């Protein structure tokens, strides 16, 4: 399936979302949700019903105000967000969801859209809290591991994310999946991008990744091999030809795609 472009009117005409929405970012939070992405989330889920978690040790609760509504955020964009192990990032997720519940009225269960490594952190979370998540969509999550994390592990330590890179190697991800199977009662959907051409990314990571996967003749989103973004326990929702790992969190039309399956 390719990207289904729903109009704003068609989404609004549907049944109101039964659950609030939580967004979980990926490795180093380098590929961030754009304002356009967040505004579309607020438009569909409603003001005060979208929660953005930054996976680091900072506890600051703050809000982003858009014409479509208010979006709640926990933590900082930077300061090591997404740089630790899956287990440690899961503890950050647990803590900040509790803060949201106390300070911003988050109710459970909630929907989740998770990008990249955030989908693996979510896997760990649902194994501990199987009644908290109503349904989830992962965007470019390396359910089969990220070979680049293994082959560029040294670079992970250079940029302060060595523990996260170690958690993303194919061997470590296989161990995580075997240790924490996805609960059968929680609907899980996967979305993957299929890179075409060459993109730069934020700091050249997509350029390097495209060359790396191209030499191996392996389709990818620039960072994650296409076959590794699938999950046997989930239903594959869509392939997005011409998209890359970054565009998954920048194009608001991806929100419409996720909203088509999240309750």
For the chain, give the number of residues: 263
Q: Which residue has the tokens 């082959």?
A: 151
Residue 80 has a CB neighbour count (10 Å cut-off) of 19
For every residue of 190-247, DSSP letters joined together read EEEEE--S---TTTSHHHHHHHHHHHTT--BSSSSBGGGG--TTSEEEEEEET--TTG
User: Contact at 8 Å (CB) between 134 and 109?
Assistant: yes
Domains of the chain: which residue ranges?
8-142+180-192+234-259
Give the integer Cα–Cα distance in Å for 226 and 144. Answer: 10
Give the integer Cα–Cα distance in Å for 236 and 1. Answer: 9
* 64 exposure class (CB count in 10 Å sphere: 0-12, 13-18, 19+): middle
DSSP 46: -
Helix, coil or strand: residue 258: helix
**What's this model's pTM, rounded to 2 decimal places?**
0.95
Per-residue pLDDT for the chain (263 aa), expressed as one digit of tens each? Answer: 555 444 444 455 456 799 999 999 999 999 999 999 999 999 999 999 999 999 999 999 999 999 999 999 999 988 789 999 999 999 999 999 999 999 999 999 999 999 999 999 999 999 999 999 999 999 999 999 999 999 999 999 999 999 999 999 999 999 999 999 999 999 999 999 999 988 999 999 999 999 999 999 999 999 999 999 999 999 999 999 999 999 999 999 999 999 999 99
User: Contact at 8 Å (CB) between 87 and 176?
Assistant: no
Give the integer Cα–Cα distance in Å for 8 and 171. Answer: 42
Give the integer Cα–Cα distance in Å for 77 and 249. Answer: 14
Query: Can you give the pLDDT at residue 6?
Result: 47
Domain 8-142+180-192+234-259 has CATH 3.30.390: no
Nearest to 8 by CA among 256, 263, 248: 256
User: Contact at 8 Å (CB) between 258 and 137?
Assistant: yes
Q: What is the CA radius of gyration of the chain?
A: 17
Strand 50-53 vs strand 21-24: parallel, antiparallel, or unpaired? Answer: parallel
Triad 19, 56, 85: Cα angle to 5°: 95
Phi, psi of 250 (to 5 degrees): -115, -25
Give the integer Cα–Cα distance in Å for 75 and 86. Answer: 17
Give the integer Cα–Cα distance in Å for 84 and 166. Answer: 9
Give the integer Cα–Cα distance in Å for 248 and 191. Answer: 9
């Amino acid at each position: 399936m390719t990207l289904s472009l729903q109009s704003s009117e068609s989404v609004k005409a549907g049944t109101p979302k039964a659950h609030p929405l939580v967004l979980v970012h990926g490795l180093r939070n380098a590929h961030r949700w754009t304002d356009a992405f967040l505004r579309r989330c607020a438009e569909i889920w409603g003001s005060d019903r979208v929660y953005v978690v930054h996976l680091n040790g900072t506890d600051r609760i703050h809000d982003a105000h858009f014409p479509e509504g208010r979006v709640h955020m926990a933590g900082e964009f930077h300061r090591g967000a997404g740089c630790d192990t899956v287990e440690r990032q899961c503890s950050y997720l647990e803590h900040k969801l509790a803060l949201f519940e106390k300070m911003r009225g988050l109710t459970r269960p909630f929907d989740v859209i998770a990008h990249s490594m955030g989908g693996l952190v979510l896997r760990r979370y649902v194994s501990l809290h199987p009644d908290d998540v109503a349904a989830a969509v992962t965007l470019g999550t390396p359910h089969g591991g990220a070979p680049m994390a293994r082959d560029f592990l040294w670079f992970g330590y250079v940029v302060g994310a060595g523990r996260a890179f170690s958690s993303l190697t194919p061997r470590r991800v296989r161990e995580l999946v075997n240790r924490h199977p996805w609960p059968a009662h929680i609907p899980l959907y996967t979305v993957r991008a299929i890179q075409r051409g060459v993109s730069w990314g934020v700091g050249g990571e997509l350029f390097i990744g495209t060359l790396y996967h191209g030499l191996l003749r392996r389709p990818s989103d620039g960072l994650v091999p296409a076959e590794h973004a699938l999950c046997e326990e989930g239903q594959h929702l869509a392939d997005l030809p011409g998209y890359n790992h970054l565009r998954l969190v920048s194009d608001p039309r991806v929100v419409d795609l996720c909203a088509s399956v999240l309750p």
